[in-house]
Structure 1
Amino acid sequence: MTNEKPDWIRLHKALAIEAERGFTDLVGREYRFSEFLSLTLGKFPTGLPQTERRRWQGLAVQFASYPHLALEERQHLVAETRRYLSQLQQDEQGEDGKQGSRGAGEQRRINQLKIQKPKSPIVTEVSRRLAPKIDQKLSDLPEIGFKKADNLARLGLHTVRDLLFYYPRDHIDYARQVNIRELQAGETVTIVATVKRCNCFSSPKNQKLSILELVVKDNSGQIKIGRFYAGTRFSSRAWQESLKRRYPVGSILAACGLVKESKYGLTLDNPELEVLANPGDSIESLNIGRVVPIYGLTEGVVANTVRQAVIAALPAAANLKDPLPSGLRQKYGLMELKDAIANIHFPSDSAALQVARRRLVFDEFFYLQLGLLQRQQQARAIQTSAILVPRGQLVEKFHEILPFKLTGAQQRVLNDILNDLQKPVPMNRLVQGDVGSGKTVVAVLAILAAIQSGYQAALMAPTEVLAEQHYRKLVSWFNLLHLPVELLTGSTKTAKRRQIHSQLGTGELPLLVGTHALIQDSVNFQQLGLVVIDEQHRFGVEQRARLQQKGEQPHVLTMTATPIPRTLALTIHGDLDVSQIDELPPGRQKIQTTVLSGQQRNHAYDLIRREIVQGRQVYVVLPLVEESEKLDLRSAVDEHQKLQESVFPDFQVGLLHGRMSSAEKDESITKFRDNQTQVLVSTTVVEVGVDVPNATVMLIENAERFGLSQLHQLRGRVGRDAAQSYCLLMSSSRSPDAQQRLKVLEQSQDGFFISEMDMRFRGPGQVLGTRQSGVPDFTLASLVEDEEVLLLARQAAEKIIEMDVTLERWYLIKEELKYRYERLMGGAILT
């Protein structure tokens, strides 16, 4: 191996793109991703300590075998490499590897992040002026004035503070200055060269388009570059001649932009240009030769207006009081707030931007976690909930009638719940578990603990299908225990509804199962002790809260079969206790999952026939009820007719969709459950709630239209018995991204890994499938890329709350929390 300085930016960029595209070993212009990493890591960085060389060389070897690794192994290797490179880069820029032998693990990595305070060149330049006040109106700043202030108000920017915390949505790095021969397509760079030829003319194809064409050279080569000016005001010959005079032959020119291929070879795409008096002069442009901030804009507000306004406001950053104590900043390697604000807008280089962003991302996570933990502690201070008896005759009898033993994971989660129920503090626990992991049995044991303690319980589900499924299961068990249970939905008849209301009020009815109907004003419990909410993310914040308000601080157990990535769980459920059922009942076989094209449809039908002949049943799921003119998708109604008449005329084909009446749905599900129909054509209404162990095939049409988490949920409708089951993902899409997503389902049945990948592909809000799920709207932070910072912020918040839950010891943190938490969460109570 040779020694050379690594190109950190290209390495980080390659790893980031590979992660974004689903770890598929992307093919670049010259190399595959794995080849590029293996070759680049084949050279030791200059000054790499001997102790680190073996690990560096090991990474090169691992990437050589990257094409042969499983998806989970690729994901792990890329994540580890990104962390390791960040650590080494900080060594190089910070303490030059001097701390290589100090400590180990997380503390060592944090120590290596101790920050020198890089000053933004813009801040250095303007800090000599009198700094404006933080709360000063923008119209009061002479550099902005009333007209520009009115424009900035369209972006919600009214004060200096608003501008300072209006973070760029992206940055373009023009700080890297290179020679012409070093240009590579796809990079953003700055060159300084001599003008060899200059011309300005109207486009032969469009007289309203003027083109400035320059040939520039340095001691390594020459290139042709051009800029375009659209509009009649640029088409006059006089204007074109005046533009030519700005760039005379022989003048020194600084140009920055994206390097791309053209018919003349490499060029800069519509570059920014500045003429320098001498080759060594500093560049005065806001864009050229620096890391340029890209802000969110709106109609009538141009980029340079925001940049110039930020420059006018930046001196005020020096007067910002940092709420985080210096000891906490030092422990977690955080830049001081004023320096972070300066460098998030106009960083001195990419390294300063990275460190500034890390501090501000930490802040976003820290104040959210602080708010969630404070609310959790305040809830735990309430001592008015019912103390429920975890053991008794009902619980023991239920264990006797169960035809199976609880799995180790079920027993562990049950113990968590029963321990909570014995305390006067209201339980607030989330149980996560894959489809078929046995969450319902655990919930029933909690319900029985409430009933035998003299209290009532409520179980709320998001759909009538799921509520009906829970009700059927509970009736079969509760009849053996001689306990009444009722179902309340929008379809419940008036007379039955009145009877249920009456029995709830007198306490005769110990358990009520239902949908949103449970939160109606007319539903009143005599003594509600436990609330169970299934698929809780499908309910709005207010709906969940209203059910809890039916009792005096009842214990709350929420359940979800949608695995939630750890970062997302911490963000939206950071005030909950979380238990996970990570074990399926014994005897279940892995579901064989296959992605099929339209040409392979007959293979799917052959498998379906074979399974039906053996006495099994089949789901066929489609995204639409009826044909859409806008989307070329197979509709459930049309598909049902086709399958019954043309494909499977010898079998009975049923239909289920959300537009059917409750009675029609019940009839369709009952026929399928009783094997009177062998094929059930359905929309996603079967995603939760339909439990038919005899079904062994799930065929999903237009699978690319679904999210990975939803496909995993649908797949969970089969494989609920000991027989081999199959999931067929039918897709006519030729999109590489769609195929990559579906391949994840082929390669993994781990719901949490699938949800992580789903979040990478679609974002956190889409994973939960609802806008009501309460995902905070972060400005900088990414739940996909910033997991490490989130965990550190959670750790810091826990320590602060542990020392003083009221935050009286940290007045600045308390004030900042009030401001940020309310804005981030919109004042909503999430859980």
Structure 2
Amino acid sequence: MKMMTESNTPQWERLHKALAIEARAGYSDIVGKQYRFSEFLCLTFGTVPPEATPQQKQRWRDLAVEFANYEKKAKLERQQLVVKASRLLKDVQEGKPDPTPETKPLQTKTPIPQGNPNLNLDQSLEDIPDIGRTRSRSLSRLGLKTVRDVLFYYPREHIDYARQVNISDLEAGETVTVVGSVRSCNCFTSPKNPKLSIFQLVIKDRTGEVKLSRFFAGTRFTNRGWQEKQKKLYPRGAIVAASGLVKKNKYGITLDNPEIEILDSQGAEIESLNIGRVLPVYPLTEGVSADVVRKAVLKVLPAADTLKDPLPSTLRKQYGFLPLPEAIKNLHFPPDHETLSHARRRLIFDEFFFLQLGFLSRRQQQRETQKSALLDPTGKLIDQFKQVLPFSLTNAQQRVVSDILQDLNSETPMNRLVQGDVGSGKTVVAVFAILAAIQSGYQAALMAPTEVLAEQHYRKLVGWFNLLHLPVELLTGSTKTAKRREIHQQLETGELPLLVGTHALIQDTVNFQQLGLVVIDEQHRFGVQQRARLLDKGHSPHVLSMTATPIPRTLALTLHGDLDVSQIDELPPGRQEIQTTALSGRERRQAYDLIRREIAQGRQAYVVLPLVEESDKLDVRSAVEEQKKLQETVFPEFKVGLLHGRMTSQEKDEALTAFRDNETQVIVSTTVIEVGVDVPNATVMLIENAERFGLSQLHQLRGRVGRGEYKSYCILMSGSKTDTAKQRLGVLEQSRDGFFISEMDMQFRGPGEVLGKRQSGLPDFALASLVEDQEVLVLAREAAEKLVLVDRNLEDYPLLKAELERRYLKLMGSTILA
């Protein structure tokens, strides 16, 4: 690690990267090129950025001291310190102001009634006074039918009206409460809309005054009698409290659609549910108002005291968590923001903890009930393969191979995911597992999501297997009928030890004699049932999953918590550096000139676009139109090819073969070339409308170049001028670490977008966020691991076991258990 050199502008990306790498390394104080992690952070935080606020500068200096003592800290303390540093970086980057000093806290009457012996958790809402049949029908539209349902119906957010400020200190964008005396009040029908009534109230305190407005649509509000009644409610000199979001319009500062309550006197208690407190905001549906939900919650909240806490008291004390009843009550109606924070942390931990406990219990059950073939990790084929390999494995590859072979030398089914960056050498690692199966008398299958990727694997494997005198075949939707029959027959007789293919492998007609190993590439692109159908073709075969799309650790824990995960976090030597540059449309000529220079030296180029055909909704060039334009007007002296997902398999093969053989110098493509295309002679990747792609996908596309001996380039063409787009593309310009890029991608877009909406597989958390609550997820995983280690069947924790069955099934549904 190098220390920051510019004293006045922090190199944010390098700092974020250092923090992400340290988290991935298990907070081990990793050693960089020049400094240990703790030394680098200590030196970095020793230089205060000028744009930081006074409070942020003090926090910055405090972190320098804390990182100086990093080596002495326990692992949990290190985790918390890394999270604290990440948050401060984000605050300074986003220019968040220091919180305004608060005035004396508001006196709000506690809304939670104390005790109600007549309530029980399974009681129907219809039977509760003040809710009754009508309101319970409304609440049932939200899935709320019992007292327990309401208690666990968490607010989606909170509005903090608990902070009272002087009128002169109102700042746009804040949610606050002001208290003042009425200077004037008016209520009248809008001169522009006869069905709209406008209520205006001017209040003042010792520092200034503010005009508040509320709007009422409907003819009943334009009634003169109703309007006069409103004015009488707020006589001149009356003391009122008003809460709302501060907005600035052409008339000055105001509160947007404020909640208003008349007080008995200055400093009197506020009785309203909505004013002067941290207000819960619940998910609603048409016909169910916020007040109906809030009042129902208040009515049943005393029943929270009857909840039995499933978390062992030792675990609660270890992590400093609130008891469950207290956390539930303070999540719904907290007295202040700090109490809310403690309540949220406890309940977020519960969501993560029971998910991780479910994963680990499920894996333990599989290990106890399923038996797989014992595969020989030290046989003749593996020795021969090591001898014919023209290169040495990296340390990371050797580590992962060791993990895999150790798994295979057990009757417990292997279920391992190998994450590796673009070009890290995952396929060669998989070959060791395949050869272990073959030399033990079993067959292996490798399934890839696309024909392009399956073919790429097949080509590579044929080259290696020919040297070992082993047959390997390819089965896809394009395989001819006669060849397909031949493959089926050889599989059933056991003559064919390895079959590579696409979804064609899971067809009913494909039967293995003795399938011992399944390798699934880009496994996240297959559904649960598709993967299961392939596994059913053997008797509890070992499973090795691979992905060239690194995902953040928190996503891996959430999606693959029941898998063992290995990471190939080291690129083989000789991989060329890829120079990445973001350009605007006005700089397009530079990109075309670069392509011409490279082709003049015998190289080739990719041009990638997001769509196949023109779209009225998206201002994006289509691959078809772009290929025609480039061929006819930009590069008429070169041959420009075309590749996209709607072409037939034969057309794709012809296009790729022509590009591999350098018959076409430029290929215009959609993201079909994201993985699986290996043309070492290609040195330029030009990505149009780069702002429309995720960072991880851009990184995958970039990985199509830099695969040979020549210097390579990636050009990110962007039509967006937003700061966010520039920041996102800046990450690609400055980093080649796929794991770091995936972390940043999740920060920018969220986990659902990173994984893809079609098949994200994410559980439906009520409170937890994989972006904001990563630290709590790590704690939950550690706590679950410790508990399973001590009592794997949870026999000593019956409450915990019962809650696990309820929560895990509800949280994951068919995503994991199908």
Equivalent of 2:235 in 235, 239, 248: 248
Report whether the alignment pairs 1:650 with 2:637.
yes
Could you tell me which residue of structure 2 aligns to residue 777 of structure 1? 764
SS at match of 1:726: strand
Q: Deviations over 1:183-237 (max 9, x none)?
A: 2222111111111111112223323222211111122322222212122221222
Cα deviation, residue 121, structure 1: 7.9
Q: Distance in 2 between matches of 1:384 and 1:202?
A: 78
| Correspondence for 1:809 | 796
| Match 2:183 to one of 190, 193, 196 | 196
**In structure 1, what residue type is equivalent to 2:753?**
Q
1:55 partner letter: D
**Are positions 1:39 and 2:46 aligned together?**
no
Whether the 8 Å CA contact 1:210–1:229 is kept in 2: the answer is: yes
**Aligned equivalent of 1:714, options 675, 681, 701:** 701
Matched, 1:206 2:193: yes
* Residue 238 (structure 1) aligned with residue 225 (structure 2): yes
Residues 773 and 264 of structure 1: CA distance in aligned 2, closer, same or farther (over 3 Å): closer
Q: Secondary structure at the match of 1:551?
A: coil
Question: Within 1, Cα distance between the matches of 2:90 and 2:594?
Answer: 45
- In the alignment, which residue of structure 1 is the partner of 2:281? 294
What SS does the aligned partner of 1:248 have? coil
Tell me if structure 2 keeps the 8 A contact 1:801–1:807: yes
* Equivalent residue for 2:159, pick from 172, 175, 199: 172
TM normalised by structure 1 equals 0.87
Instruction: State the AA in 1 paired with 2:707.
Output: R
Question: 3-state DSSP class of the match of 2:261?
Answer: strand
C-alpha separation between the residues in 1 aligned to 2:243 and 2:370? Answer: 64
2:570 to 579, 583, 596: 583
Is 1:346 the counterpart of 2:361? The answer is: no
In angstroms, what is the RMSD of aligned CA positions? 2.5
SS of residue in 1 equivalent to 2:144: coil
Q: For the residues of structure 2 that align with 1:123 and 1:222, how far apart are their CA atoms?
A: 29
Residue of structure 1 in register with 2:613 after alignment: 626
* Residue in 2 that maps onto 1:516: 503
1:134 counterpart SS class: coil
Preserved contact between residue 224 and residue 264 of structure 1 (Cα < 8 Å): no
CA contact (8 A) 1:696 1:725 kept: yes
Aligned residue identity for 2:86:
A
Q: Which residue in the other structure is 2:62 paired with?
A: 55
Partner of 1:458: 445
Does residue 328 (structure 1) correspond to residue 315 (structure 2)? The answer is yes
Name the SS for the 1:772 alignment partner.
Answer: coil
- The answer on whether the counterparts of 2:108 and 2:276 sit within 8 Å (CA) in structure 1 is no
Structure 1, 798-807 or 766-775: larger mean CA deviation: 766-775
Q: Which residue matches 1:448?
A: 435
Q: Structure 1 residue aligned with 2:751, among 740, 745, 764?
A: 764
State the alpha-carbon separation in 1 of the partners of residues 558 and 710 from structure 2: 39
Worse overlay, 771-780 or 447-456: 771-780
Contiguous gaps of at least 5 residues in structure 1 = 1-14, 24-32, 45-52, 61-73, 86-119
- Amino acid corresponding to residue 778 of structure 1 in structure 2: F
Change (3 A) 1:36 1:262: farther
Query: In 1, Cα distance between the equivalents of 2:84 and 2:577?
Result: 26
Aligned ranges 1:340-739 → 2 under 5 Å: 340-382=327-369, 384-739=371-726
Does the Cα contact within 8 Å between 1:390 and 1:449 map onto a contact in 2? yes
Contact 1:41–1:56 (Cα < 8 Å) also in 2? no
| Counterpart code for 1:543 | Q
1:682-739, CA deviations, whole angstroms, 9 ceiling, x for partnerless residues? 1110001111111111011111111111111111111112311111111112233222
The AA in structure 2 aligned to 1:780 is L
1:533–1:770 Cα change, 3 Å: farther
1:414, distance to aligned residue in structure 2 (A): 0.6
Report if aligned partners of 2:112, 2:302 keep a CA contact under 8 Å in 1: no
Aligned to 2:104: none
Higher mean C-alpha displacement, 481-490 vs 435-444: 481-490
TM-aligned CA deviation for residue 84 of structure 1: 13
Is the CA contact (8 Å cut-off) linking 1:382 and 1:426 kept in structure 2? no
The percent identity for this pair of structures is: 68
Deviations 1:657-678 (A, max 9, x none): 1111111111111111111111
Q: Answer yes or no: is the 8 Å Cα contact 1:459–1:512 preserved in 2.
A: yes
Question: 1:79 is matched with which residue: 79, 86, 90?
Answer: 86
| 3-state SS in 2 of match to 1:503 | helix
Q: How far is 1:127 from its partner?
A: 1.8
Q: Is the 8 A contact 2:112 2:298 kept in 1?
A: no
Kept after mapping to 2: 8 A contact 1:619/1:698? yes
Name the SS of the counterpart of 2:357 in structure 1: helix
Deviation of 1:154 after TM superposition, in Å, equals 1.1
Distance 2:152 2:437 in 1: 49
- Mapped to 1, the partners of 2:496 and 2:812 lie a distance apart of 38
- Rate the CA distance shift 1:122–1:128 in 2: closer, same or farther, 3 A: farther
Cα deviation per residue 1:97-126 (whole Å; 9 max; x = unaligned)?
xxxxxxxxxxxxxxxxxxxxxxx9887741
Shift of 1:78: 4.4
SS in 1 for 2:492: helix
Q: Distance in 1 between matches of 2:277 and 2:87?
A: 30
Q: Aligned letter for 2:432?
A: L
Query: Residues of 2 paired with 1:83 and 1:688: CA distance?
Result: 33
Alpha-carbon separation, structure 2, partners of 1:330 and 1:298: 39
Counterpart Cα distance in 1 of 2:184 and 2:618: 53
| 1:792 alignment counterpart | 779
**Cα deviation 1:531-554 (Å, max 9, x = unaligned):** 000000010111111111111111
State how many pairs are aligned. Answer: 750
1:189–1:256 Cα contact (<8 Å) kept: yes
Structure 1 residues 556, 304: closer, same or farther in 2, change over 3 A?
same
Q: Does residue 1:186 correspond to 2:201, yes or no?
A: no
Could you say if the C-alpha distance between residues 595 and 477 of structure 1 is closer, same or farther in structure 2, counting changes exceeding 3 Å? same
For 2:354, what is the secondary structure of its paired residue?
helix
TM-score normalised by structure 2 residue count: 0.88
Please tell me the residue identity of whatever aligns with 1:578. V
* Aligned CA distance change for structure 1 residues 41 and 669 (closer, same or farther; 3 Å): closer
Task: Say yes or no: does 1:824 pair with 2:795.
Answer: no
Alignment CA distance shift 1:57-1:438 (3 Å): closer
In structure 2, stretches of 5+ residues that fail to align are 1-11, 21-47, 68-80, 93-106
The answer as to whether partners of 2:334 and 2:340 remain within 8 angstroms in 1 is: yes
How far apart, CA to CA, are the structure 1 residues paired with 2:639 and 2:248? 60
SS of the residue corresponding to residue 768 of structure 2 reads coil
SS at match of 1:126: coil
- Tell me if structure 1 keeps the 8 A contact 2:108–2:271: no
Query: Is the 8 Å Cα contact of residues 774 and 830 (structure 1) preserved in structure 2?
Result: no
- Give distance in 1, aligned partners of 2:752 and 2:645: 23
Change (3 A) 1:497 1:726: same
Contact conserved, 1:42 with 1:57, CA < 8 A, in 2? no
3-state secondary structure, aligned to 1:37 = coil
C-alpha change, 1:768 and 1:122, in structure 2 (3 Å) is farther
Question: Shift of residue 377 of structure 1?
Answer: 1.4
Q: Deviations over 1:603-630 (max 9, x none)?
A: 1000000001111111111111111222
1:648 and 1:556, CA in 2 relative to 1: closer, same or farther beyond 3 A? same
Residues 445 and 498, structure 2, Cα contact 8 Å, conserved in 1:
yes
Counterpart CA distance in 2 for 1:279 and 1:288 is 15
